[in-house]
Amino acid sequence: MNCACGMPLHYNSSMTEEAINKLSNQLGEFVEVKVEDRKYKVQRHYIALHGIKAAELDELADRGIVERLP
């Protein structure tokens, strides 16, 4: 599996990777993030590996890392 950034998953800790894999299996690979009146679909692994900032979501969507939702 790849991170949404395009690289193979690149965790520093196998325990963290296992925990996020478990969450992804239980809750789905993506999280819906709402900022004011905008919504985005963001990969759980990307959040765990890179974090997210509300101010960067539109740029990340333009780069194809996150998805804008209607």
Q: What is the pLDDT of residue 55?
A: 96
Q: What is the pLDDT of residue 23?
A: 96
> What is the helix (H) or strand (E) element at residue 48, kind and residue range?
helix 44-50
In tens, the pLDDT along 7-34 reads: 999 999 999 999 999 999 999 999 999 9
Q: What is the pLDDT of residue 11?
A: 97
Ramachandran sector of residue 60 (left: φ over 0; alpha: ψ -120 to 50; beta: rest):
alpha
Q: What is the pLDDT of residue 48?
A: 97
Q: What is the pLDDT of residue 21?
A: 97
Q: Would you say the C-alpha torsion 45, 50, 51, 52 has a positive or negative sign? A: negative
